Structure formats: structure tokens, C-alpha cells
Structure 1
Amino acid sequence: MSTRSIKIVRVTKDDYDQVCAITPPGQIYGGTDYLPDYFHMLLDMPNVEAYAAVVDGKFASFVLSFVVDNGRTVVPRAGRTNKEYAGMGLLHMLLRNTIKNSKYDKIAVTAGGHVKAIFDQIRDGRREKILMMEFRYFITSVDHLKSILNTNGNMTPTSAKPIDESELADILTNQQVCCHLFPEGRCIVDCVPYRLIKSNASLIKTIRTTAIGSNLKSGTRILTFANYASTSIGMVCNIEVYGCIGETLTEHLFLHLREIVSKAISGKVIIRCFFRDETNLNFITNLMNRFGLDRTEMYGTTLLCTEGTPEIYFRDSKL
């Protein structure tokens, strides 16, 4: 590694082609890589830091991080390294560069719940488990989904309504509401964990985010988020469900799906639905079936969020 020229550069929107060429999108997450579609939106966000490792003049590795929680927490995401440069420690080098001149208290990471090494680190006190969510994949075609939604076109939600950034900020600072929706004191939206503080509302509500709330002043509170991306295999949407899962979720799903099909022209629609309790799986599956979405297996069934201090994180990385 010492014989190779390695340069770390701050990534701009002009680097789009070079970043996407690091690993072809079809080789990431089974073709559901969101970065090519999200790239310009993310680079416009004030809380995003993105760096690339350029080895011998070629973009070899990339890490984009979210800075959340009033600047307290850094969340790595969208990392990738070209296979030719595997084993060089480039991702950790990039993350070190992200935090070297900052005073982050925590590094928070979301990963598949099947990774044994993460549980070993939790057991040994090197990371703290923050939140685990179940998820399942559902699939249909744009044309079929549009047909189903047209059939249900007269559906008029009685309680579900869009939540704007200001309302979301109020929710995140309302302890009575949050203790029902987010008992661990965190929420994960589009695979990024957030503390329940006002400033995170503007970070959660990107131009791709739809938030829907129902009965937020009663015991049947429910809040859902949806984010969509166009990928190499179709439109992919993450939907997170918080609160009381019941028939009201039908209205939420209708509103989210209607938004998705307004952005999709043709091809597949893949929904990854996150929820807190596996006992709700049958209800969610049946509800998705009502909208023409069938269960499909892709990669993983659980998302685990952990966090630790930068010192311990890099000690464990042996860099």
C-alpha cells in the first residue's frame, strides 16, 4: 500500500460519474443501490460530508456520512470500494478523515442484524445497541399498482394526513407522543438513526420523504415515513412504521403508494417495509397483498442500529 499514491478528496456533484463507477450499481444490494439517484440530492444537503480515496489517480473508495443530532453524531452510509482496492483500509481512512477536525461524540451505524461480529461488539461493550427493526420486501409492477390504486381511487383517509417539517419537529419534542412511537428514544428513517430532537426534523424531511400521521393525540398513534429511489431494477421505497399497527395503516399505505406511482413510469416497484414487532408480519403481508404487492426475498430481514465512540470504533478497526 505504501508504494501507491493515495489522495483523499472532498466529493462534489461534478464527481458523479467517477463515484458511480467505483462499483457498478447492479452489483450493490442486488441492484437496489439508491446512490446514483440520491447523489445530487444528498450533496445538496447541509449535513452531508462525502469523501473519496483516489488511488493512483483513480476513484477507488467512497464514503458519504450524515451529521445529525445537533452535530453530535456521524452516520456513515453509501460506502463502497472497488474490488481492485479491497483490503487497503480505504473506508476507515475516509471515515477518519470525516471526523478528524470535528468533535462528534458518537458514530452510529446501521447494518443487517445477521452480522455476528456486531453482536460480539455489543456483548463486549464496544458498541451500544440502539434499535432493531424487522423488515420485509414486497414487489409488484408499476402498471399493476396503478390499476389497484385506481380501483381504490375513492378511498378518503379519515385520520391519516401528511406531516410537514414543522409538525414533525413538534412530534419529536413531544415526550407523551414519543414514548409511544419511539420507546428507545430514537427513530430510523431511510436507514439513518436520529435522536428525538427538533433540529433533526429538517434532516429527516428530505425532498424524497413523505411522513403520514394518524391519531397522534390518542392511544392508537401511528407515524409512517416513506422514501423512494429509482434503481437499476426498478423503483425502491423504504417505508418505516412506528406506533400502533392496525387498519389505519391502510390509509397510510394508500397515500405513500400514490406518491410513489406518481414518480414511476414503468417497471418494478419494490417496497421494503420496516416495523417494530415480528408478530405484525401477517397483518402487514395481508395489507400489502390488498394493494397487489407480494412478498419476495432479497437480502436480510432485520436492521440493527448501534453506536460507539470514535475512539473505540477506530481501535477496533486496527488502523
Structure 2
Amino acid sequence: MTGTDDQEFQIRVREVTYDDYETVMTIASPHTFRDGFDYLPAKFQHYVDDPYTFFYIIEDVGETAAITVFTCKDDGEAILFKTMRNHPKWVGNGFSKAARQPVLHSMAPYFIKRAKVSKMFYTVADEGRKDVLKHVRAEPSTTFQCKMNVMYFRCDLATLHQQLVGDLDGMGSLPALSPVQLDNMNKLLQSDFSSTVLSKSEGFVFVDWDPYKLNESNIKRFVEWGHHILVDSGKPAAKSLSFGGSYMTPRGRVYHIDVHSTDEVLC
């Protein structure tokens, strides 16, 4: 396999196992990625176990050069490019481009077995990550759309809790929020909910950066994963849908809150 500037690569792609944890963490740089709030240590086991996740180590001449994660979404309808991390030695020399085809070739048996071809390949990236955007733009026939707003904040948890309690005291006129249960999920799957609340995202919901189609199988999956799911009591259909969860990182616990709403006050 030849890279840019006559750089020769001997690429081998293999699936990550539990025994690769330390190797992956070394490549992933969990103490520096996202300023120490890297999700990969917390999600390593899930990525290894999940049959819908392609978690690979990419080697060059027997050395671990990179890791990459792809997730198959919505029963194979789409593939999400979750992340790729290169060892510093393989940054800027065309390795990522050279590894693209071997990685896709490694995924092929899954789709051959299912006799189904995915219709969409996508990724979700922070606009501030110029390195990620450069890599994605290298894909042919790529279009770019930004359909969500992301807000980051860090503060003392006790102060935040006190502020939230004070804010909630003044919101008595808002509709009540209730947890979504498997036996009342039909309220979310009504067509008028998707056509209003999720119209700009084409029926996708975002849960901790990952896009999913709003359907019964995905709602069940969120419940199994232990996500908190809230919906308002608006009539005739709900006006908001929220997801929440948390995980530990090398620097501390990260809480993710994903709110989908057409009502700014309710949001």
C-alpha cells in the first residue's frame, strides 16, 4: 500500500479485543484528547462487545499506527464514522488516506452476510476540529450540513444544582416532564412529532453526539443502555424529547444532555 510522497505502508487491519486496552489507550491519548475528557476509556468495552460497531487496530509493518471506530446504524441503513486516532508517528504522512480502503474491506463481510448495502455514510464533527473536517472532506461526493447547536460548559456541580433548582421554581407553568417507558413510546413515534420537532434533522435524534433514527428499536436500545429519556406532557403531541446520561473520563465525569424541542422556553 503506497501513501503520499512515496511513503510505503504495509497495512494490516484487525478487530480490537479486550487484550488491546492498553494499546488503544496509548494511541487514543485519553489524557490529552478533548482536554482529558475522552469518552473512549468508558466506551471501550461497549465498542468491543457491540455487534454493530467496527472497532479496529490498524498496523503498519507490525506496529500499531491507528485505531478507528465505525458504527452501523438503523439496521444497516447507515454507517457512522465515529473516530480515528493516529499515533503521532503516522500523522501528516498520508496514512489515514492509505488506510481507508483496507478498513472498508474489513467491514465488507458483515454486509455480504446481511445481503444489504448501507445507503448513507456520515460523521458528526465539531466545527472547531479542522483536522477531522479535512479528513472527512477527502471523501468523494461528500456534502456538509450543520443541523444542531452544541453548548459546552464547565462549572462547580453544587453551584449548578442550586441554580437549576432556582430556575425550576419559576417554571411552574411549563408542562410536566415524564420518563419515557417502553409501553408509552408510541407518543414519540407519531408522525406529527417527527414532522415538527425533528423536521430540521430529517427524523434523526442526537444522543451523546451519535445520530439515530427515531424508531421503536432505537428507543428500546436507549432504555437498555440506561439513558434517561424525558418527554413533555403537551397535547395532542409532545413538543420535546430529551436524553441524558454520564460516563467517567480520565479527568472527571462527563454528563451529556441532548434536547430536541421546537419551543425555546421549554428547551
TM-score (norm 1): 0.64
Q: How many Å separate the matches in 2 of 1:223 and 1:85?
A: 42
Give ranges in structure 1 of 5+ residues lacking alignment: 250-319
Q: For residue 31 of structure 2, give the secondary structure of its aligned residue in structure 1.
A: helix
Q: Aligned AA for 1:161?
A: S
Q: How many Å separate the matches in 2 of 1:129 and 1:217?
A: 35
Superposition pairs of residues 158-237 of structure 1, within 5 angstroms: 159-165=176-182, 167-168=184-185, 170-171=186-187, 173-183=189-199, 184-205=202-223, 207-218=225-236, 221-237=239-255
1:203/1:65 CA distance change after superposition, 3 Å:
farther
1:197/1:146 CA distance change after superposition, 3 Å:
closer
Q: Please tell me whether the aligned partners of residues 193 and 237 of structure 2 are also in contact (alpha carbons under 8 angstroms).
A: no
* Map of 2:52 onto structure 1: 47
Q: Per-residue deviation at 1:84?
A: 0.7
Task: Give the fraction of aligned pairs with identical amino acids, expressed as a percent.
Answer: 21
Superposition pairs of residues 229-308 of structure 1, within 5 angstroms: 229-246=247-264, 248-249=266-267
Q: Please tell me whether the aligned partners of residues 228 and 236 of structure 1 are also in contact (alpha carbons under 8 angstroms).
A: yes
* Map of 1:266 onto structure 2: none
Give ranges in structure 2 of 5+ residues lacking alignment: 3-7, 112-116
TM-score (norm 2): 0.75
* Map of 1:108 onto structure 2: 122
Q: Please tell me whether the aligned partners of residues 177 and 216 of structure 1 are also in contact (alpha carbons under 8 angstroms).
A: no
Q: For residue 132 of structure 1, give the secondary structure of its aligned residue in structure 2.
A: coil
Q: Please tell me whether the aligned partners of residues 178 and 233 of structure 2 are also in contact (alpha carbons under 8 angstroms).
A: no
RMSD (CA atoms): 3.5
Q: How many Å separate the matches in 2 of 1:76 and 1:53?
A: 15
1:240/1:153 CA distance change after superposition, 3 Å:
closer
More strand by share: 1
* Map of 2:40 onto structure 1: 35
2:62 corresponds to which of 57, 61, 66: 57
Q: How many Å separate the matches in 2 of 1:198 and 1:58?
A: 43
Q: Per-residue deviation at 1:171?
A: 4.7
Q: How many Å separate the matches in 2 of 1:167 and 1:216?
A: 14
2:155 corresponds to which of 134, 140, 154: 140
Q: How many Å separate the matches in 1 of 2:213 and 2:192?
A: 16
1:52/1:221 CA distance change after superposition, 3 Å:
same
Q: Per-residue deviation at 1:107?
A: 0.6
Q: Per-residue deviation at 1:189?
A: 1.6
Which is bigger in relative contact order (C-alpha 8 A, separation at least 6)?
A: 1
* Map of 1:22 onto structure 2: 27
Q: How many Å separate the matches in 1 of 2:226 and 2:84?
A: 20
1:27/1:118 CA distance change after superposition, 3 Å:
closer
Q: How many Å separate the matches in 2 of 1:67 and 1:136?
A: 27
Q: For residue 139 of structure 1, give the secondary structure of its aligned residue in structure 2.
A: coil
* Map of 2:84 onto structure 1: 79
The number of residue pairs the alignment matches comes to: 245
1:5/1:166 CA distance change after superposition, 3 Å:
farther
Q: Aligned AA for 1:190?
A: D
CA deviations over 1:103-145 (Å, ceiling 9, x no partner): 22211211224669969x99xx923456511111111234545
